Structure 1
Amino acid sequence: MNQMTRPAPATTVDPITLQVIRGSFETIAEEMGHVLYRMSFSSIIRESQDLGAGLFDAHFNTLCESESTPMHIGSIPGYLRGIAETLEDDEWYEDDVVVHNHPYHGASHTPDLAIVVPVFFQGRLVGFAGNTAHHVDIGAATPGLIIDVPDVFAEGMLFAGTKLYRKGQPNNAMWNYIRRNSRAAQQLVADIEAQVASARLGAKRFVELLEKYGEDIVFAAANQLMDYSERMTRQRISEIPDGDYTAEGWLDDDGRNRDKRLKVKVTVRVRGDEVEVDLTGSADQTPTAYNVPFEGSTKVAAYAGFRKLLLDSAVSDIRVPSNEGSFRPIKVTAPLGSIFNPKAPASAEARFTQCNRMIDLIIRALAPVMPEQVIAGSSASISFAAYSGVRPSGDYWVFLEVNEGAYGGRPRSDGPDSIDNLMANTRNNPLEDLAMHIPMICDRYELRDDVPPGAGEFRGGIGVVKAQRVLTPAFITHESERHTEAPWGIFGGSDGAVGKCTLTNPGHPGEEKEMYSKFSGLAVDADDVMTYYSPNGGGYGDPLNRPALKVLEDVLDGYYSAQHAKEAYGVVVDLEAETVDMAATEKRRHAMRQIS
């Protein structure tokens, strides 16, 4: 059956029942996410938790989402709309399981496979349970990740509304196709099976909720919760003065044309209780995979950005449910044929750093009218690396890794160090796990110490340094950004530091090759070491207002040198005594204020 109607809710749910159902939704989503990462085999899902899970109504509205990577869960409504366009059989049946990843039919990008199961209640289709997760290898042109490829067909297996199970029966031909078209087939199949288990559990829990409270009550509660999230989002938007706010920045290159930087321009239009994010003026689409699927990634990035700015649970006095309501007041515009809305069949796999820079620029654009809510420039990138090689047996090993960045300084505190930021929320991969399963060793993993973070009353966060050594001949593909434009300082704070990436080998001391921020399928030798230095965040506020003792602590902790403390903060540190010369500091700060 494919009947997608249900009785209109005829009642208002009382506050207690409403909160109970809200808690049930959130618990179901968290349980789905937990099952997915606990059952998965690849470290990118099992350890990094690069996934999302949730429940959706028959009209594809998000009812609840797991607390995982924002880019995943916010994208699933786009997947559902794409599935509606392409669904095998053109109809849903009970116990169907669909896999979908087509970037021109709503997906975020091809490695993020969605698994969706329909939720039937009393013989009618009433909703969906679904999840997405980033997979190790789906048979693309290069193992794990791709950047320099000509079109979407080089991205690997494309699924559009494809049924892995039909009425509960496995589509064995499709399962065999998947097994025979991935370099990491065992992990891929096991991880998809974990997704299926997670989605089926979500559907089961959804039905249990409907049986307990009744369909009218549950969906009335869902609608009230979505309306509440929308109302609170509109209220926060209405507190921003009406106007057009613009910021722009530059991406390093597209992974092939090294002499051509790519412009990102963001105009935020605030009108009453609605906002538009307009990306007109950003670069044209690229001939590589460095483009962004509009439905599954560009729009989701804008939603995530405003949720962070307006509904951050850490600083808000009320907690607003994560559901479709918070998306409704936000419009996203990107010209067709631009980097944020490419035309098919352009490749769009390497789409993440552009999204992070978009959010970074939304924050920068709104800084003049939201000084107490914004932060200085973050690393706003992502270091996504794929290491791979061939074992003596002839089988591939493939390892995906997301490296940390740093936030910018904040209105009341320093930027957090060495952490995913803006719209990434993946965890670091334990080094022990790496050594147990992959022929690699981590030679260095620590806070960056070669350049200081952005100076400010609240300093920028410090990025990470990670050096990974391969023990056999291997291939590396690396997607990162911000090698040419440092995270910005704000309200008197100074800029942070750009990132960098190097290739060395202990057998050739003194030889160091500086790499571009992104490169594809690089063949390396045994004992070659790729070292990634993530950008440091920008500073917030006048550095001369930073308490001298805080500057001393930073120097003693090795965050920056005594010379930098003197030049940037006007603080004279006595390293031998481990104290501040307060008289000399007062004199120097007075002189620096006179100059400025």
Structure 2
Amino acid sequence: MSITAPTQATVPTAATGRRLIRDLDEAAFAAHYGCDRYTATVLGNRFDYLVEHMSARLLTGAFSPVLRDFYDLACTIAGPPELGYPVPAASNGIVLMAGTTIDAVPTMVQEFGVGRLNPGDVLIANDPYRTGNHNNDLVFTRPVFVDGTLVAFVTLNAHQLDMGGTVPGGFSATKQNVFENGLVLSPRLLVQGGVNVPETWNVIFDNVRMAEVLYPDMLTVCSSLELGERLVQESIERYGLQAFHGSMRYATDAAAERMALGMAELPDGDWEAEHGVDCDGVDDTESYPVHVAIRKRGDRIEVDFSGTHRQARSSINATVWEVKTAIGVALKYNFDPRGRFNSGLFRNIDIVIPEGTVVSALPPDGAVFLYFEQSQVILATVLIALEKALGERAIAGDRAGTNLHTAFGAHPDGTPWVSAMQCGGEIGPFGANRHGDADTQCMSYLANGVAPSVEAIEKESPVVMLRHEPVPDTAGPGFHRGGNAMLRDTLWLTDAAHSIIELRHKSVTGFGVHGGGHGVNGGVWIFPPGEGGDAVVPGTDSEAFGRGVPWAGVIDPASNTPSPDGEYIYPFSGANTSVRQSVLRYITNGAGGWGDPLEREPERVLRDVRDEYVTIEGAARLYGVVVSGDPHEDPEGLVLETAATAALRERLRAVKP
């Protein structure tokens, strides 16, 4: 299978020796786009406003914590079929969902039939093989008509708290086919002519848990689509349909041109890399490497996935739509980090994907749910492959896994509760690049959510947040330091079944680049209550880990601490059911550094010791910097030992490979 983006551009680029968009005079621009530059620019910004306004409507009205707190949604606007469904703008939600939504809309419309759509309709689907992502990500698209003509689509791809299946909330690596995965909806009308379609609503709510959350959220999604429709119609009324569609083409052409110019700067060449997850949800006898071969010629790049491992036996697979999105994001980070994310991004990228691999799974046995894990593998593999070609522009690896955690149980009155993506390692570090040190309190390179508030978590689930802090000496050292691993301890007040998503511990995920060091991998532990049944709150020193039971990671069997020489703990071996008053500990992987750590200014290392990103011992070992004092009791009294630092760095450089 190969994916080649449609070529809507008629304005050639400098990479081919022809004119750029900016080289068009006013008459040529107006002839090509049906409006002047000023109008195209205004409408381009209005597209951004439109999708963000729709997103804000949902975020402020959502009941689900996954939507309200995690921003697990994406909103797009697309042109009509005769223009090739151009997408000039996507919201600042989960980029994984924004990318797949670009292709989901034409797939849904073509299967349902564009001639069957009418004003006031809302079309939905959630089949991963049709729309990308997973069953919980329900795509809602509303056709927009003006004077009886279909002129656009406004779309929200919004995560639903539950869509049926064997596990509440759906987050599990152990589901082995599409029948266990949850409710599958082919393209169908949710709303027809402004009236709800009872058959569609009923089939959803006959199969899902927590309907009291899904129902109002779906109503809010429909309201957001109505808002988007109104904004589109107002824009066309003010600027005209020709200018509206011309501005769509301009926004996507400009994005394609920026990417082509960026890729043209990279010397032609061929590069390969392989990277993957540790296991699937069946056992740990297989790992699943993803192989990429990148071929760059002129202003085009081909990414070939031949040699990638067969599809997994459980729901850790992804589809071709996630491949396309992850490749686009990885290349955009490198070649056009400041431009818009829209459908023009993919125009100069060709992708070759064999069918039936872990990133191109087929039903019914190639179940897709944890697609985001494979998406991160794809992005990381591209970054690894391009490191030498990019030189100082290379980007270090982040913590790679999502480290998602789900717990579920019942309140004393029997009503169910679910804590989804709130109390695990969802927040973690980025890798460093040439611009500076990396952030520690982030999600991943392919997500753009935020950490939910502690108060909201504790109000809705029987849990107490005990600790949320960086772990010293876990960041990849470098001239620019990677982000530190994050530690989170939660105390569960009642019995709870826990589902953990840990697939990236056997190998380094936070890889360093341009001479930078690797980050340190983490793990998951459960600390049972003491002999009297009361909770035992563990410390963070190495001895404290001995009282815990490892649930995931590569762990030293003697100390229970993470160790690259330890034993691998398979994360899906049991039901992972904790008892009352247990403490769950997550430590994410640390992220990679950029540049030679021995060149990092000693003053910056001193600041890291003061802020407890680096210990005094770590400063000497990782950076060759000697610091004296007590960072805990007197952080501002730390002293940089200049002479000792110079001598230590000289010794370390002498033995450096």
Match of 2:465 in 1: 442
Does residue 1:218 correspond to 2:254, yes or no? no
Other-structure match for 2:123: 98
* Paired position in structure 2 for 1:514: 550
1:453 alignment partner in structure 2: 475
Structure 2 counterpart of 1:218, one-letter code: F
Offset at residue 106 of structure 1 (A): 2.5
Question: Match for 1:51 among 73, 76, 85?
Answer: 73
Q: State yes or no: 1:561 paired with 2:615.
A: yes
Q: Which residue of 1 aligns with 2:159?
A: 134
Deviations 1:550-571 (A, max 9, x none): 1122122222222222122111
Which residue of structure 1 aligns with residue 401 of structure 2? 381
Aligned: 1:415 with 2:438: yes
What TM-score do the two structures reach when normalised by structure 1?
0.93
Query: Which region of structure 1 is more displaced relative to structure 2, 337-346 or 104-113?
Result: 104-113
* Unpaired runs of at least 5, structure 1: 1-7, 314-319
Give the drift of 1:506: 3.4
| CA deviation after TM superposition for structure 1 residue 36, in Å | 1.2
Aligned partner (choices 258, 264, 289) of residue 315 of structure 2: 289
Q: Which amino acid aligns with 2:128?
A: P
Secondary structure in 1 aligned to 2:576?
A: strand
Alignment match of 1:256 (pick from 282, 288, 300): 282
CA deviation vs aligned residue, 1:88-144 (integer Å, no higher than 9, x gap) = 897212111122100121232111111111111110112211011222111121111
Q: Of residues 362, 366, 369 in structure 2, which corresponds to 1:343? A: 362
Q: Is the 8 A contact 2:86 2:249 kept in 1?
A: no
Q: Give how far 1:357 is off.
A: 2.0
Moved more, 567-576 or 151-160: 567-576
Deviation at 1:397, TM superposition (A): 0.9
The answer to whether structure 1 residue 182 and structure 2 residue 202 are counterparts is no
1:86 to 1:523, Cα distance in 2 relative to 1, 3 A: farther
Q: Is the 8 A contact 2:80 2:151 kept in 1?
A: yes
Q: What do the CA deviations read for 1:153-204 (whole angstroms, capped 9, x no partner)?
A: 2121111112111122211232233223222111111221221111221112
Structure 2 CA distance for partners of 1:10 and 1:479, relative to 1, 3 Å: same
Partner residue, 1:353: 373
Give 1:85 deviation, angstroms.
4.7
Q: How big is the shift at 1:271?
A: 1.4
Is it true that 1:234 corresponds to 2:260 in the alignment? yes
Residue aligning to 1:3: none
CA contact (8 A) 2:138 2:159 kept: yes
CA contact (8 A) 2:125 2:131 kept: no
Deviations 1:504-542 (A, max 9, x none): 123365631111365385322222222111111112111
1:544 Cα deviation after fit:
1.0
Q: How far, CA to CA, are the matches of 2:506 and 2:378 in structure 1? A: 16
> 2:391: which partner in 1?
371
Residue pairs, 1:141-220, within 5 angstroms: 141-144=166-169, 145-220=171-246
The answer (yes or no) to whether the contact 1:55–1:128 under 8 Å persists in 2 is yes
Aligned residue pair count: 581
**Alpha-carbon distance in 2 for matches of 1:85, 1:470:** 48
2:646 is aligned to 586
Question: Partners of 1:405 and 1:482 in 2: how far apart?
Answer: 14
CA deviations on 1:289-330 (whole Å, 9 max, x unpaired) are 0100212x12111112222222212xxxxxx33321111111
> Is 1:474 equivalent to 2:474 in the alignment?
no
Worse-superposed segment, 280-289 or 74-83: 74-83
Once the two structures are aligned, what percentage of the paired residues are identical?
27
Are 1:482 and 1:499, in contact at CA under 8 Å, matched by a contact in 2? no
1:27 aligns with 2:23: no
Change (3 A) 1:268 1:389: same
Going from structure 1 to structure 2, the CA distance change for 1:10 and 1:584 (only over 3 Å counts) comes to: closer
What SS does structure 1 have at the residue aligned with 2:391?
Answer: coil
2: distance between equivalents of 1:9 and 1:110? 44
The one-letter amino acid paired with 2:349 is I
Partner of 1:209: helix, strand, or coil? helix
Name 1:325's counterpart in structure 2: 344
Is the partner of 2:267 in helix, strand or coil? coil
1:503 to 2:539 alignment: no
TM-score, structure 2 normalization? 0.85
Q: Would you say the 8 A contact 1:98–1:117 is kept in 2?
A: yes
Q: Does residue 529 of structure 1 match 2:554?
A: no
- For residues 330-389 of structure 1, give each alpha carbon's deviation from its aligned partner in whole angstroms, at most 9, with x where no partner exists: 122221011000111121101112211211221221121222322222112212221111
Secondary structure at 1:591's aligned position in 2? helix
Equivalent of 2:59, from 37, 40, 45? 37
Could you tell me which amino acid in structure 2 is paired with residue 172 of structure 1?
Answer: P
* In structure 2, C-alpha distance between the alignment counterparts of 1:561 and 1:282, rounded to whole Å: 40
